[in-house]
Structure 1
C-alpha cells in the first residue's frame, strides 16, 4: 500500500507537470497568468481570540494569513476559491493590512463584520467587493452558542458570484511542486505576538504542520486538528497606523509591499527564502538562496506576518 509520503510525491509530480503546461500558456516573467481563468476569491476576516475558537470552515481556505491586531492579539484573513464551505466564521472587522494583502487578487470579495469609520473610505476605494452584513443581510447570521461579538457567521452560498475552482494561491503565482534542494530538517517553529502564540509542529503521519494557538492544539468546529501543508513565516515591518479600535488602542499595520526575508516550512524541512512585492498590485514572490522560485507542498498554505 502506498504511504502518505509516496502519495504526496506523486501529487507533487502531477502538480509540477501541470505547472509546466500552464507556464507554456502564460505570460512571461512569472506571477499572474493571462490565459488561465482568474480565481474568484472570497476573503473572510476571522476572529481568533480564545472565545472565538474553534473556527468554522477555516480548513477549506486556500490561504490563511495571520496578522497582528490591537493589543498584540491576532486575527486571520482566509482566502477561498478552490472550495467553499457552507459556513465560515466567526467573522470580525477589517483592518488596513487586509486591504494591502488583497490587492494581489483580482477583484476579491471581502466578508467582514464592519470597520472603524475612519477606515471605511479606504475600504470603499479599494479594488474589492466589500461585503459587510449591511450589504448582504441574508448571508450572515448570529449563532446562539456563543456570545457576541464572537458569534457572527457567513454563508458563502448566499454571496453572489460562484467560486471558479481555481486555487487562490496559484492565482497569485505560488507554485505547487517538488521541494527544492537545500532545506534543513525541522520539527517545530513558534511565532509570538505580544498577546498571541502560534506553534507549527511537523506530523509525519499526516504530512502536515499541525497548528497550535496559545499553547493549545487548534481544531476545526468538528474537532479535527488544523494542519497546513506549507507554512510561510514572512518577516515584515509592523508599524502603528492612524486607526484605533473602540478602546483607543492603535491598530498595527503590517507592510507587505517591499522585500525581506522569510522561512518556508514544508515536508518537515525549513528553507530560508527572500520575499519581494514591488507594488500593491504585484503578487508576492518567494525565492530560494539560488534565486529560484520557492515551491510549495500541495495543500493549504499559512502565511504568518512576523514582525521584524
Structure 2
C-alpha cells in the first residue's frame, strides 16, 4: 500500500512537471489564442493641391492686366494724330486707344491717340502735327508718332525730339476711297511697331490706378452731364453709364461714335484746365501750354473729384491731386485727357 501511494505521488508529480513544461513551450511552439489587438484607424496623408497664380503684367497706360505676350509691353507707344473735323467723323480706332489726349487746333480739336497694349488696324483719319504736340510727346518715353505732315518749323522741331517720326509717305499709311482728302488718311499701328528698332523704349505710366473700392472713396457721385468747353471748338459732354462702366461722350449734342457704331465711353476722363498761346510755327495756330499747374476735374467710376494738376517739365506727365494734396487714383481702363481753355461745368449732383 505504501508502495502504491508512492507510485501515485510520483505519477502526479510527473504530470505536474509535464504541465509546467507545456506551459513554457506553448509560448513559442503551441497554438494559442491570439492576444487582443487594439484597433487602429488607418489614415492617408492628404496632399492639398495648390495652384500658384502668377499675376499678369499690367499695361502702363490702362492699369489693366495684359494677357498677351509680355514682350509687347516692352515696345514703345504708338501715337497717332487723329482728326476731329466734322467731315472726319466717325473716326476709326479711338475706342481701342489706351489713352486719348484732346487739344485745340484751328477752330476744332484734335486727338493724340496713344496705343500700346492694343494695336487696332487701321486708325484715322490722320492729320498734321502742331507745336502743341511737342511737350506731350516728350512725356511718352520716345514713342513712334504718326502724322500726315507739318510745316517746316514743326518738322524741324519734331526732328529734335526723342521720337520715331512716321508720316504720310511711309508704307504704313493709306488713303480711304470712300472719303475725301484731307480727311481720308489712315495708318496701321501694327506695321509701324514692326518697323521700330528692337532696343526701343517701353513707356512708363501717366497715372496711378487702383481697385474700384479704393477709387470710389474719392470725391462724390454724380448724375447729369459734365461739360468741357474749348474756345471756338465743339462743346464736349460726358455722362456716366453704370452699365457700361464708362463716360458716354457727345460733341455739340451728337453722340460721338466710332466707325463701328459704338459710342465712345472711356473709364476715366482727366480734365486739366489750361491756357493756349500762339504757335511759334503759325500765328493762326494755338499752342497748348501743358507745363505748369491749374485746376483739375477727374471723372472715374461714376465719381467726380476736383483738385489740381501740376507738371514741372515736359519730360514728365501731369500729376493730379485732390484739394488735400493726395494723389487721385483712377479705375483701370481707357483714359481721356482733356486740355480745355474755357470752362468745365459740373452738375450739382
The answer to whether the superposition gives a TM-score over 0.5 is yes
1:204 aligned onto 2:242:
yes
Equivalent residues in 2 for 1:96-111, closer than 5 Å: 96-111=131-146
| C-alpha distance in 2 between matches for 1:162 and 1:181 | 43
Residue equivalent to 1:94: 129
Number of equivalenced pairs: 267
| C-alpha distance in 1 between matches for 2:256 and 2:198 | 27
| C-alpha distance in 1 between matches for 2:129 and 2:187 | 15
Residue equivalent to 2:185: 152
Equivalent residues in 2 for 1:214-233, closer than 5 Å: 214-233=252-271
Cα distance per residue 1:163-211 (max 9 Å; x no partner): 99x996xx23411113163412222211122131111111111110001
Deviation at 1:130, TM superposition (A): 1.0
- TM norm structure 1: 0.81
Secondary structure at the aligned position of 1:84 is classed as coil
- After the TM superposition, list the runs of 4 or more consecutive aligned residues in structure 1 that deviate by more than 6 angstroms: none
| C-alpha distance in 2 between matches for 1:87 and 1:214 | 26
Contact in 1 for aligned 2:216/2:301 (Cα 8 Å): no
1:307 aligned onto 2:307:
no
Q: Which has the higher strand share?
A: 1
Secondary structure at the aligned position of 1:263 is classed as strand
Residue equivalent to 1:83: 118
Contact in 2 for aligned 1:57/1:87 (Cα 8 Å): yes
Equivalent position to 1:61, from 97, 102, 118 = 97
| C-alpha distance in 2 between matches for 1:163 and 1:258 | 34
- Aligned-CA RMSD value: 2.4
Change in Cα spacing, 1:38 to 1:284, as seen in structure 2 (3 Å) is farther
Cα distance per residue 1:130-177 (max 9 Å; x no partner): 11123x2x100000111000000001122113999x996xx2341111
Change in Cα spacing, 1:157 to 1:173, as seen in structure 2 (3 Å) is closer
| C-alpha distance in 1 between matches for 2:263 and 2:198 | 26
Structure 2 unaligned blocks of 5 or more: 1-54, 60-72, 343-349
Residue equivalent to 1:191: 228
Residue equivalent to 1:43: 79
Contact in 2 for aligned 1:47/1:92 (Cα 8 Å): yes
Deviation at 1:102, TM superposition (A): 1.2
> After the TM superposition, which of the residue ranges 155-164 and 59-68 deviates more from structure 2?
155-164
Residue equivalent to 1:258: 292
Contact in 1 for aligned 2:216/2:303 (Cα 8 Å): no
Change in Cα spacing, 1:274 to 1:175, as seen in structure 2 (3 Å) is same
Residue equivalent to 2:209: 176
Cα distance per residue 1:232-271 (max 9 Å; x no partner): 1101121112232xxxx61101111111111000112110
Deviation at 1:55, TM superposition (A): 0.8
Contact in 1 for aligned 2:158/2:165 (Cα 8 Å): yes
Work out which of the two has the higher radius of gyration on C-alpha atoms and give 1 or 2: 2
Structure 1 unaligned blocks of 5 or more: 1-13, 20-36
